[in-house]
Amino acid sequence: MNSKYLQIITLISVISLNGCGTTSEKSETSVVGTSTETQPVDDGWITLFDGTTTDGWRGYNSTSLPANWVIEDGSLKSLGTGGDIGGDIVYGNQEFDNFELSLEWKIGEGGNSGIFYHVVEGDKYKAPYETAPEYQVLDDLGFPDPLEDWQMVGADYAMHVADTSQKVVKPAGEWNTSRIVFSEEKAEHWLNDKKLLEFVPWSEDWYERRNSGKWDDYPDYGLAKTGLIGIQDHGSFIWYKNIKIKEL
């Protein structure tokens, strides 16, 4: 074998080895990249409204979403055409018993709304409040009429009042964050990271409040231990977003 031919063979071998080394490095990089890729974490939260679709939402005692609720800038907005009866909506895909519910909301000036849970439907009922406890949503700062403390934002409507020393509520048009944590041992209402109240459901004290007169016309109020989540159109503009729930 002459020296020139030997040099050609050696050169081909070097190129081949370098090529194999490059392929190996690319393969290792690809594997490392895959193993460190961020994966979604299942933390137990169920998204009820993500800002893009109203899937799962419908009118109370209805099969479709009423025209007074629309999506606007990633929020579920009430156009304010509802009233004491009519206009309220529920998330109809699933019932919940013990849960933590979190959402953000803002309200029009002088507005009134509410967040319901354990909502029961049926021909005998005309509105969610006949059966469901309500986290009161209201423009405390600009409401045109005098208010009882059990009507103000964060209250367990007509049952338990919010601790005003802990309450920090944003004015109309600004976003607030609310949480309801519910179990048979204890229920809590939170507003902007401050706990406003807590109570023991179906306790002796709870029944005393329930039977004090306000709910005399609604004998099934608060008795259900599971039900739907609902939100209220009480005749004013209201926006909700980032609605999510976790079963406890």
Sequence ranges of the domains in the chain: 1-36, 45-247
Over residues 156-204, the pLDDT tens digits come to 999 999 999 999 999 999 999 999 999 999 999 999 999 999 999 999 9
Percent of the residues in the chain that have a pLDDT greater than 90, as a whole number: 78
Q: What is the pLDDT of residue 36?
A: 35
Q: What is the pLDDT of residue 148?
A: 95
By three-state DSSP, how is residue 102 classified? Answer: strand
- In the chain, which residues have pLDDT < 70? 1-42
Q: What is the pLDDT of residue 42?
A: 60
DSSP element (H, E) containing 248: none
Q: E-strand spans in the chain?
A: 45-49, 57-59, 69-72, 75-79, 89-96, 99-107, 112-119, 134-138, 176-182, 187-191, 194-199, 227-231, 237-247
Measured CA distances, 53 to 50, 57, 71, 73, 108 (Å): 7, 9, 8, 12, 23
Q: What is the pLDDT of residue 165?
A: 93
Structural domain 45-247, CATH architecture: Sandwich (2.60)
Q: What is the pLDDT of residue 209?
A: 98
